[in-house]
Amino acid sequence: MGAYLIKRFFLMFPTLLGVALVTFLLIRVIPGDVVELRYSGDRGSVSQEVIDKERARVGLDQPVWKQLATWLVGLAKLDFGTSMWTGAPIWEEIELRFALSLQVAVMATVIAVLLALPLGVLAALKQDTWVDYVIRIFSIAGLAVPSFWLGIVFILVLLVFFQWLPPMVYTPFWQNPWENMAQLIWPALAVGYRYSAVSTRMTRSAMLEVLREDYIRTAKAKGLWQSLVLRRHALKNAMLPVMTVVGVEFAFLIGGLVVTEQVFNLNGLGLLFVQAVAHRDYTLLQALVMLVAGIFIFMNFLLDVAFAWLDPRVRYA
Amino acid sequence: MLNRINALFMLAVGIVMALVWPAMAQDKPRSGGELIFAVPSEPPSYDAHQEETFGVIHPVAPHYNTLLRTDPTDKTGTKPVGDLAESWTISSDQKTYTFKLRSGVKFHDGSDMTSKDVKASYDKIMKPPAGVKSLRAASYGAVESVETPDAHTIVFKLKWPESSFLLNLASPWNFIYKADILAKDPHWYEKNIMGTGPFLFVEHVRGSHWVGKKNPNYWDKGKPYLDSYRALFIKSSSAQVAAVRGERAHIQFRGFTPADRDSLVKALGNKITVQESPWDCVLMVNMHHDKKPFDDKRVRRALTLALDRYTASKNLSRIAIVQDVAGIQVPGTPWATPPEDLEKLAGYGRDINASRAEARKLLKEAGVPEGFSFTFKNRGVPQPYEPVGIWLIDQWKQIGLNVKQEIVEASAFHSMLKRGDFEVSMDFQCGFIVEPDLDIARFLAVSDANYGKHKDKVMDELYLKQARATSPEERKKYLRQFEKRLLDEEVHVFYTLQWHRIIPHNAKVRGWMVTPSHYLNQQLDTVWLAQ
Q: What does the pLDDT read at residue A307? A: 82
A52 in any annotated domain: no
The band of B476, judged by pLDDT with boundaries at 50, 70 and 90, is very high
- Give the mean model confidence (pLDDT) for residues B96-121: 97
Predicted pLDDT at A251 = 87
Residue B67 lies in a domain: yes
Is A131 inside any structural domain? yes
Same-domain check for residues B461 and B520? no
Cα-Cα-Cα-Cα dihedral of B444, B77, B497, B135, to 10°? 40
Distance CA A256, CA B306 (A): 47
Supply φ then ψ for residue B101, to 5 degrees: -90, 155
Q: Do A167 and B248 touch (CB under 8 A)?
A: yes
Q: Positive or negative CA dihedral for B320, B323, B328, B332?
A: negative
Q: What is the ipTM of this complex?
A: 0.83
pLDDT at A314 over 80: no
pLDDT for residue B10: 56
- Residues in Cβ contact with B482 at an 8 Å cutoff, skipping those fewer than 6 apart: B328, B440, B459, B462, B463, B466
Contact A168 B234 (CB under 8 A): yes
CATH code where residue A166 lies: 1.10.3720.10
Residues B105 and B216 in one domain: yes
Q: Residue A41's pLDDT is what?
A: 61
Examine the pLDDT at B174 and tell me if it is beyond 60: yes
In a domain, B462, yes or no: yes
Look up the domain containing B82 and give its range.
34-225+508-529
Residues in B closer than 8 angstroms to A89, CB to CB, are none
Label residue A230 by pLDDT band (50, 70, 90).
confident
Q: What is the CA radius of gyration of chain A?
A: 24
Asked if residue B154 lies in contact with residue B146, where contact means CB atoms within 8 angstroms, the answer is yes
Q: Which residues of A touch B130 (CB under 8 A)?
A: none
What's the pLDDT tens digit per position in B136-155?
888 899 999 999 999 999 99
Statement to judge: residues B110 and B51 lie in one domain: yes
Q: Collapsing DSSP states into helix, strand and coil, what is residue B482?
A: helix
Going along B121-254, which residue ranges are E strands? Answer: 143-150, 153-158, 199-205, 209-214, 228-233, 251-252
At a CB cut-off of 8 Å and minimum separation 6, what does B95 contact? B157, B158, B159, B160, B161
- Confidence class for position B265, pLDDT limits 50, 70, 90: very high
Cβ contact A87–B45 (<8 Å)? yes
Helix ranges, B211-283 (H): 237-245, 258-268
Residue B352 lies in a domain: yes
pLDDT value of residue B20:
45
Tell which residue, B189, B54, B68, B164, has the closest CA to residue B118: B68
The answer to whether residue B304 scores a pLDDT higher than 90 is: yes
DSSP output for A230-276: IIIIIIHHHHHHHHHHHHHHHHHHHHH-HHHHHHTT--SHHHHHHHH
Residues 6+ apart with CB under 8 A from A197: A138, A139, A140, A141, A142, A143
For the cut 70, the answer to whether the pLDDT of residue B165 exceeds it is yes
Instruction: For residues B483 and B516, state if they share a domain.
Output: no
Instruction: Tell whether B129 and B153 lie within a shared domain.
Output: yes
pLDDT at B21: 47
Do both B304 and B202 map to the same domain?
Answer: no
* Cβ neighbourhood burial of B302 (10 Å; 0-12, 13-18, 19+): buried
* Interface check B246 vs A, CB under 8 A: yes
Write out the residue range of the structural domain in which residue A213 sits. 91-278
Nearest to A44 among B209, B428, B441 (CB): B428
B190 and B288 both lie in a single domain: no
Q: Are residues B219 and B322 in the same domain?
A: no
Closest Cβ opposite residue A272 in set B207, B245, B427: B207
Q: Would you call the peptide bond into B382 cis, given omega within 30 degrees of 0 as the criterion? A: no
The angle formed by the CA atoms of residues A276, A279 and A280, to the nearest 5 degrees, is 80
First to last CA, chain A: 9
Query: Does residue A37 fall inside a structural domain?
Result: no
- Domain contains A163: yes
Has residue B200 been placed in a domain?
yes
Judge whether A189 lies within some domain: yes
Q: What are the tens digits of pLDDT across the range A105-125?
A: 999 999 999 999 999 999 999
Angle of CA points B192, B193, B194, to nearest 5°: 125
User: Is residue A49 over pLDDT 80?
Assistant: no
A289 found inside a domain: no
Report d(CA A102, CA A109) in Å as an integer.
10
The pLDDT of residue A237: 86
Task: Count up the domains in chain A and report the number.
Answer: 1
Residues 6+ apart with CB under 8 A from A107: A184, A185, A188, A192
pLDDT exceeds 90 at position B529: yes
| Cα gap B275→B498, rounded to integer Å | 17
In this structure, the answer to whether residues B355 and B221 fall within a common structural domain is: no
Please choose, from the candidates B194, B160, B199, the residue with its C-alpha nearest in 3D space to the C-alpha of residue B180: B194
What confidence tens digit (pLDDT) does each residue in B418-460 have? 889 999 999 998 999 999 999 999 999 988 889 999 999 999 9
Please tell me the predicted confidence (pLDDT) of residue B138.
Answer: 85
Cβ contact B381:B412 at 8 Å? no
For B518, name the nearest residue in chain A, comparing CA atoms only: A42
pLDDT at A36 over 90: no
Q: How many residues in total does chain B contain?
A: 531
| A42, A267, A279 ranked by CB distance to B52: nearest | A42
Q: Kindly state the helix (H) or strand (E) to which residue A294 belongs, with its residue range.
A: helix A282-310
Nearest residue on chain B to A57, alpha-carbon basis: B131
pLDDT band at B22, cuts 50/70/90? very low
Looking at beta carbons, which residues of chain A come within 8 Å of B430?
A: 42-43
Q: What pTM was computed for the model? A: 0.88
Report percent pLDDT > 70 for chain A.
97
Size of interface A-B (CB pairs under 8 A): 131
Shared-domain flag, residues B186 and B303: no
Q: State the Cα–Cα distance between residues A252 and A195, nearest whole angstrom.
A: 11
Instruction: Select the residue of A54, A159, A278 nearest B246 (Cβ to Cβ).
Output: A159
In total, how many domains does chain B have?
2
- The answer to whether residue B249 is domain-embedded is no
Kindly report the average pLDDT of chain A as a whole number: 88
- pLDDT confidence tier of residue A44, bands split at 50, 70 and 90: low
Compute the nearest-CA separation of A46 from chain B (Å): 6
Please give, rounded to a whole number of angstroms, the shortest distance from the CA of A269 to a CA of chain B. Answer: 10
Amino acid B455 reads K
Closest CA to B426 of B284, B316, B326: B284
- Please give the backbone phi and psi of residue B42, each rounded to the nearest 5 degrees, phi first: -135, 145
pLDDT of B478 reads 96
What CATH number should be reported for the domain holding residue B433?
3.10.105.10
A136 within some domain: yes
Give yes or no for residue B306 having a pLDDT over 90.
yes
How confident is the model at residue A5, as a pLDDT? 77
Chain A residue numbers touching B411 (CB-CB < 8 A): 30-32, 37, 278-280
Residue pLDDT, tens place only, A146-182: 999 999 999 999 998 988 999 988 999 999 999 999 9
A51-60, A112-121, A294-303 — which one is most confidently predicted on average? A112-121
pLDDT of residue A224: 84
pLDDT in tens, B462-473: 999 999 998 999
Q: How does pLDDT run across A261-274, given as a tens digit for each residue?
A: 888 989 999 999 98
Task: Reply yes or no on whether the pLDDT at B24 is more than 50.
Answer: no
Query: Which pLDDT does position B8 carry in this prediction?
Result: 56
Residue A34: inside a domain, yes or no? no
Report which secondary-structure segment, H or E, holds A221. helix A214-221
Q: What pLDDT digit, counting tens, does each position of B38-71 carry? A: 999 999 999 999 988 899 999 999 999 999 999 9
Q: How far apart are CA B278 and CA B321, in angstroms?
A: 10
**Chain B residue numbers touching A39 (CB-CB < 8 A):** 52, 135
Claim to verify: residue B76 and residue B148 sit in the same structural domain: yes
- pLDDT at position B14: 53
Phi, psi of B398 (to 5 degrees): -65, -20
State mean pLDDT over A240-245: 88
Tell me the C-alpha distance between A196 and A199, whole Å. 5
pLDDT in tens, B316-371: 999 999 999 999 999 999 999 999 999 999 999 999 999 999 999 999 999 999 88
Are B232 and A267 in contact (CB < 8 Å)?
A: no
**What is the arithmetic mean of pLDDT over B478-501?**
96
List all residues 6 or more positions away from B511 whose beta carbon is below 8 Å from its beta carbon: B29, B225, B526, B527, B528
B183 and B51 belong to one structural domain: yes
pLDDT surpassing 50 at residue B169: yes
Q: Residue B152 is part of a domain; what is its CATH number?
A: 3.90.76.10
Give residue B411's pLDDT.
77
pLDDT band at residue B7 under the 50/70/90 scheme: low
H-only helix segments in B98-142: 115-126
